[in-house]
């Protein structure tokens, strides 16, 4: 494993890299509230077959985190930066592993550059209304009637207890290492963290508006798609995994007995499924 940083549009974008440079590339796109460290157990298990690239998004992990008044924290903008990141690496033909926030970012790239995509792994990376858990109905009120008071309520989304709960809910007792959620919690103390994350929570509504376009991409291009889903995830529920089969004839769905961060408990199983499918 190597740990690198590259300049992209004036930002330092940190990324993890593993595997031979001439192997097929896999771009791994993390979710909230994590960063590329969520792939720490998966990448070594795939490095014998793939060239793995896992960036930290702007405002996450070790990448630059400019003030939200000088930088637009939106999924459109982040997807453009990750697109430029891959262009700068001269690596624009890849498998795409999407999780949580990584799904709307990755599928935006796929819409703009369908020829870049060799195949897709979706791990609790949702693009269907059926996959939205109960909390999203509550957020619609904030999106439709935003006020400073309602915005402040969503600071709870990155409270330590919430983050720890995201890792442990839906998993068997004593199976989740504290490493991931402890690091995620540490990152919440970085300057300006709350405001940039609240901007993204508000902007998430634009991902849902794009779901029909993401689904149309699948219907048109029929990419190989492996859905590996923590079936006990309350945020992105498993009907979202099953829904891929409606639009894409080249889908395999595997429901894992885990929660939102399924790699914390099932990294070895996910690696085997990827190698068998692609």
Report which of 249, 253, 243, 252 is spatially closest to residue 220, judged by C-alpha positions.
Answer: 249
Has 68 been annotated as catalytic? no
| Alpha carbons 165 and 66: distance in angstroms, whole number | 28
Alpha-carbon separation of residue 62 from 5, 34, 129, 165, 183 (angstroms): 9, 11, 32, 23, 11
Residue with tokens 């020829």: 115
Q: Which has the closest alpha carbon to 9: 63, 52, 61, 54?
A: 63
CB-based burial of residue 233 (10 Å sphere; 0-12 exposed, 13-18 middle, 19+ buried)?
Answer: buried
Contacts of 198 by beta carbon, 8 Å cutoff, 6+ apart: 151, 154, 155
Q: Tokens for 151?
A: 């915005």
Give Cα separations from 236 to 110, 171, 177, 186, 241 (angstroms): 21, 15, 22, 24, 9
Identified catalytic residue from 37, 51, 68, 260? 260
Token output for 7 = 């300049």
Which residue has 């995201």 as its token pair? 166
Residues with catalytic function = 260
């Amino acid at each position: 494993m190597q740990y690198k940083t590259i300049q992209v549009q004036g930002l330092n974008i940190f990324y993890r890299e593993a595997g031979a440079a001439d192997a097929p590339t896999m771009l791994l796109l993390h979710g909230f509230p994590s960063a590329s460290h969520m792939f720490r157990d998966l990448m070594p298990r795939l490095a014998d077959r793939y060239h793995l690239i896992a960036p930290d998004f702007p405002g996450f992990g070790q990448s630059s985190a400019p003030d939200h008044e000088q930088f637009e924290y939106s999924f459109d903008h982040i997807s453009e930066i990750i697109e430029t990141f891959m262009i700068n690496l001269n690596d624009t033909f890849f498998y795409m592993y999407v999780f949580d926030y990584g799904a709307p970012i990755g599928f935006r790239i796929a819409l703009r550059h369908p020829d870049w995509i060799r195949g897709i792994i979706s791990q609790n990376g949702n693009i269907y209304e059926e996959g939205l858990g109960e909390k999203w109905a509550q957020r619609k009120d904030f999106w439709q009637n935003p006020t400073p008071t309602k915005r402040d309520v969503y600071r709870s989304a990155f409270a330590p207890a919430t983050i720890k709960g995201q890792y442990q809910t839906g998993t068997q007792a004593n199976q989740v290492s504290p490493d991931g959620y402890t690091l995620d919690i540490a990152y919440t103390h970085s300057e300006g963290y709350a405001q940039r994350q609240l901007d993204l929570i508000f902007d998430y509504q634009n991902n849902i508006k794009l779901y029909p376009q993401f689904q149309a991409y699948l219907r048109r291009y029929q990419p190989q798609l492996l859905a590996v889903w923590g079936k006990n995830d309350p945020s992105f529920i498993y009907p979202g995994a099953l829904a891929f089969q409606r639009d894409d004839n080249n889908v395999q769905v595997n429901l894992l007995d885990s929660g939102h961060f399924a790699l914390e408990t099932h990294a070895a199983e996910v690696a085997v499924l990827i190698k068998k499918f692609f």
